[in-house]
């Protein structure tokens, strides 16, 4: 037995929408637990991913992107992200290697100034740019905030991610084991299943449709003899026209969404899945406090 103390702590991943926060969490865990897409504002909730390394437990927190929110739903998302900066042991501020710091990055830096936790600047997507650009980013950021570390990574290729995790581990305080070591996330499987369906809507539809979509799992039943999980889920949109798009010609789009989601849910649960999808309209739900609550955005 070594007498090095066990370390543990909570680490928030924050940044603008689409910078790769969720991709980074999945990469660190080596499993897909949070959804991603090439559209901004994909993540809507705070989701913890638990990463165990020798001598330490790191609880990473994926958050929605910080942006100028207009709708009630978006204001909720930004509030979730901003509140995730408080009461954590470390903040990872993610930016994109191919973007110069602008006003919106500066606004996040201003918020960080109120944080008592150390902050790492994580420069993501280094695979999309030349090394010179990364050096320029480092130079542009390093005088704006006393970042504890500046770490270039690619969440997509994994470049630099092991080093990032090692640096994170080193700053964590001595602490307890917060979660059993076979637990990957704090959210239930039925939530992840609903998110996977929502991801398929994000990836297969466009314009306002992804943003007008919410998904809930209504029932999640394991058949007595095992070997099959039966899931019924409802996709809520804001207008009849959006319902038409989600269903598609002769139900073709709903079928695509369903089969893409089913394959992934089967992988998640490691069993065959029977997935049934329903679509309903709740006019302007993203502005409606009661509906937001019903859909889990509280
Ligand atoms: N080339 C490249 N693309 C990346 C990298 N990391 C993420 N992406 C892509 O960037 C897009 C956004 O990734 P997400 O992980 O959904 O970004 P996010 O920050 O969680 O976005 P929100 O949840 O909307 O705030 C996706 O298309 C990813 O595949 C990277 O290191 N390199
Ligand atoms: Mg995300």
Expressed in angstroms and rounded, the spacing between residue 158 Cα and the centre of ligand 2 is: 17
Q: Sorting pLDDT into bands at 50, 70 and 90, what band is 114? A: confident
Helix axes 161-171, 21-29, angle to 10 degrees: 90
CA dist 162 to 58, 153, 220, Å?
13, 9, 36
The answer for residues whose C-beta is within 8 angstroms of residue 104's C-beta and 6 or more apart is 16, 66, 67, 68
Residue 121 pLDDT exceeds 70: yes
Domains of the chain, with CATH numbers? 7-171 (3.40.50.300), 189-294 (3.30.300.20)
Mutate to test the pocket of ligand 1, among 12, 15, 16, 20 (most ligand atoms within 8 A of CB): 20
**pLDDT tens-place string over residues 61-103:** 999 999 999 999 999 999 999 999 999 999 999 999 999 999 9
For 270, what's the count of Cα atoms within 13 Å in the CB-facing half-sphere? 1
Residue 148 pLDDT exceeds 80: yes
| Residues by chain with Cβ below 5 Å of ion ligand 2 | 21-22, 42-43
What's the average model confidence in pLDDT over 266-285? 97
Q: Sorting pLDDT into bands at 50, 70 and 90, what band is 223? A: confident
Q: Residue 45 is encoded by which pair of tokens?
A: 């909730």
Which ligand lies nearest to the CA atom of residue 211 in the structure?
A: 1
Query: Rounded to an integer, what distance in angstroms lies between the CA atom of residue 294 and that of residue 297?
Result: 7
pLDDT at residue 226, rounded to an integer: 78
pLDDT at residue 163, rounded to an integer: 98
Query: Rounded to an integer, what distance in angstroms lies between the CA atom of residue 292 and that of residue 285?
Result: 7
- Mean residue pLDDT of the chain comes to 97
Specify the DSSP class assigned to residue 212.
G
Query: From the CB of 22, is ligand 1 less than 6 Å away?
Result: yes
Expressed in angstroms and rounded, the spacing between residue 295 Cα and the centre of ligand 1 is: 25
pTM of the model: 0.98
- Closest residue by Cα to atom 7, ligand 1, is 20
pLDDT at residue 2, rounded to an integer: 60
Closest ligand 1 atom to 35 CA: 16
User: Please, which contacts does 257-266 make with residues 24 or more away whose CB atoms are closer than 8 Å?
Assistant: 257/197, 257/200, 257/201, 257/204, 258/197, 260/200, 260/203, 260/204, 261/193, 261/196, 261/197, 261/199, 261/200, 264/32, 264/196, 265/193, 265/196, 265/229, 265/231
**pLDDT tens-place string over residues 245-261:** 999 999 999 999 999 99
pLDDT at residue 292, rounded to an integer: 97
């Amino acid at each position: 037995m070594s007498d090095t103390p066990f370390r543990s702590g909570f680490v928030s991943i924050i940044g603008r929408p689409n910078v790769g926060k969720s991709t980074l969490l999945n990469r660190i865990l080596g499993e897909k637990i949070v959804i991603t897409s090439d559209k901004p504002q994909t993540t809507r909730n705070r989701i913890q991913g638990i990463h165990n390394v020798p001598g330490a437990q790191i609880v990473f927190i994926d958050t929605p992107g910080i942006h100028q929110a207009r709708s009630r739903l978006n204001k909720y998302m930004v509030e979730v992200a901003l509140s995730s900066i408080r009461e954590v042991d470390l903040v990872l501020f993610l930016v994109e290697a191919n973007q110069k710091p602008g006003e919106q990055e500066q606004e996040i830096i201003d918020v960080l100034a109120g944080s008592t936790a150390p902050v790492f600047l994580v420069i993501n997507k280094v695979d999309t740019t030349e090394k010179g650009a990364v050096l320029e980013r480092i130079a542009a950021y390093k005088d704006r905030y006393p970042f504890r570390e500046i770490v270039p990574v690619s969440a997509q290729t994994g470049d630099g991610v092991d080093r990032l995790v090692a640096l994170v581990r080193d700053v964590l305080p001595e602490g307890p084991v917060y979660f059993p070591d076979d637990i990957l996330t704090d959210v239930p499987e039925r939530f992840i299943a609903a998110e996977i369906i929502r991801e398929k809507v994000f990836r297969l539809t466009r314009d306002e449709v992804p943003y007008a979509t919410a998904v809930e799992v209504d029932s999640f039943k394991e058949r007595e003899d095992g070997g099959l999980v039966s899931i019924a889920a409802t996709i809520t949109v804001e207008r009849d026209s959006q319902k038409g798009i989600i269903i598609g010609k002769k139900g073709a789009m709903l079928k695509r969404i369903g089969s893409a989601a089913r394959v992934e849910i089967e992988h998640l649960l490691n069993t065959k899945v029977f997935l049934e999808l329903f679509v309903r309209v709740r006019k302007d739900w993203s502005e409606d406090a009661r509906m937001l609550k019903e859909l889990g955005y509280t």
